[in-house]
Chain A
Amino acid sequence: MMKFSKDHEWVRVEGEIATVGITDHAQNALGDVVFVDLPEPGRQVAAGEACAVVESVKAASDVYAPVAGRIIEVNAALVDDPGRINRDPTGEGWFFRIALEGPLPDDLMDAEAYARFLEGL
């Protein structure tokens, strides 16, 4: 099941592990991604905490942890090929995995609610 944040991250929860990336809307708004700064594995993050940076040709943007927990893995393939984020934002363009701590935040949206949220922007 995929959920979405107001900051345009997606999170896919499998058991106690959440995989996080940025949405198609976000990659489209950013444009061609040329660099990512990923968090250190082992780092504890709070929901809403800035923990990665994505740079496109035109600008830098923070990526926030949509859920609280501990970073257990990052997508190292993005370092050499950040274009994956544009080509496949919800697949090969994933950013990091978090070992969940506590419940999911209430303000995460399902796909339908996120689509409505985008229409309201």
Chain B
Amino acid sequence: MADTDALLATPLEGLHRELGARMVPFAGYRMPLHYPRGILAEHLHCRAAAALFDVSHMGQAELLGEGAAAALERLTPADVQGLKPGRQRYALLLNEGGGIVDDIMLAHLGSRLFLVVNAARKAVDLPLIAAALPPGVTLRPLADRALIALQGPGAVAAVASLLPEVSGLSFMGVIERDGLVISRSGYTGEDGVEISLPAEQAEAFARRLLALPGVAPAGLGARDSLRLEAGLCLYGQDLDETTSPVEANLVWTIGKRRRLSWDFPGAERIRSELDSGPARLRVGIRPQGRQPARAGTPIHPASGPEPVGIITSGGFGPSVDGPIAMGYVAPAYARDGTPLSLMVRGKALPAAVAPLPFHPHRYAR
């Protein structure tokens, strides 16, 4: 396709093509949607063994200098100063209105903070962070690094055959070895790791991982169905600059200390939503039958003409073996089991609010 020519390539592009990937544009990059086995098989392989994902399109950066953690707290309600060396945390960047600018991963590497932000939000996040820094604190974008995720019940054993110290990490633990930053985390609901490494080493390293027993490549398609089954948000679909952490059911990302001082952007809105309830809430939704309801589908009460919400992510869950979705509904319709009606191509599809995740997390706590 001609319009993919202006897109950026990740350091693993040659490998993807060699593996027979179907490449698609995503967030300004040419990315593998799936390999010849297809999304379904790649998804199930991740749940059963170990799947390798190229997530090098994501933005990586580091924050250096005295006071880096305090500076970042001007943009997020997470407890950054309380993050211990060797630990990683999921955090939300907020705007002054309490809307979510991005959801990011934040790791304490001892000498500095290491950040992973969404590909499509790099251009927003990095200037925002840079503008919030006092003298002496520096933001260094790491455009020359790749990011590889290995996910699934066999992932850590596979990586540990190359890097034995990985097996000592617990969920959200992070170590640095020979220029590699390895965290025990991911975006699938499975145990696994994400490995940041210099771009020029990425292909050789990915090939070593793929040569290990049980490891197979998986693309963006499986990544999306895996994260949806795990109830994890996708920025741009489930989260945007109008969504608050309370609406998104991500209050747990607000540090306890921060909820005493209320010194973060949008604190006023968040406090009032915690006291009086938000206008809408993110929920899981199970359509009856086999038909998926995609993002943008209006949500109605079981009987009633007025919409009470909208689907923000929807598709088919291969491990659930049925359609699954997430969306926002008015709080009166957010209780598990509440019957709903989804308007799919002009027809009402019966559905119900369902607990998240759809597929149990298997993190190494």
- Residues of chain A whose beta carbon lies under 8 Å from any beta carbon of chain B: 31-32, 34-35, 37, 53, 55-60, 79, 82
For the residues of B in contact with A, the DSSP-based class is mixed
A-B contact number at CB 8 A? 45
Task: Please state if B221 and A31 are interface contacts (CB–CB under 8 Å).
Answer: yes
Task: Please state if B221 and A57 are interface contacts (CB–CB under 8 Å).
Answer: yes
Task: Please state if A57 and B291 are interface contacts (CB–CB under 8 Å).
Answer: no
Complex Cα distance, B225 from A32, in Å, reads 13
The 9 closest A-B pairs by CB, nearest first: A32-B40, A34-B316, A57-B39, A35-B290, A35-B291, A57-B316, A58-B221, A32-B38, A55-B292
Determine the chain A residues whose CB is within 8 A of the CB of B224 once the complex forms: 58
Complex Cα distance, B314 from A60, in Å, reads 11
Which residue of chain B has the shortest Cβ distance to A32 in the bound complex? B40
Given the known inter-chain contacts A57-B39, A57-B221, A58-B315, please indicate yes or no for A34 contacting B33, CB distance below 8 A. Answer: no
Q: Tell me whether B89 is interfacial, beta carbon within 8 Å.
A: no
Task: Please state if B294 and A34 are interface contacts (CB–CB under 8 Å).
Answer: no
Task: Please state if A31 and B292 are interface contacts (CB–CB under 8 Å).
Answer: no
Q: How large is the interface on B (under 10, 10 to 19, 20 to 34, 35 or more residues)?
A: 10 to 19
Q: Tell me whether B47 is interfacial, beta carbon within 8 Å.
A: no
Determine the chain A residues whose CB is within 8 A of the CB of B39 once the complex forms: 31-32, 56-58
Task: Please state if B34 and A31 are interface contacts (CB–CB under 8 Å).
Answer: yes
Which residue of chain A has the shortest Cβ distance to B24 in the bound complex? A58
Complex Cα distance, B62 from A74, in Å, reads 58
Determine the chain B residues whose CB is within 8 A of the CB of A55 once the complex forms: 291-292, 316
Which residue of chain B has the shortest Cβ distance to A57 in the bound complex? B39
Given the known inter-chain contacts A53-B345, A57-B40, please indicate yes or no for A34 contacting B290, CB distance below 8 A. Answer: yes
How distant is A39 from chain B, measured CB to nearest CB, in Å?
A: 13
Partner of B225, one of A53, A57, A60, A79: A57
Which residue of chain A has the shortest Cβ distance to B318 in the bound complex? A57
Complex Cα distance, B22 from A56, in Å, reads 15
Complex Cα distance, B323 from A82, in Å, reads 14
Partner of A35, one of B34, B225, B292: B292
Determine the chain B residues whose CB is within 8 A of the CB of A31 once the complex forms: 34, 38-40, 221
Complex Cα distance, B41 from A99, in Å, reads 38
Complex Cα distance, B39 from A31, in Å, reads 7
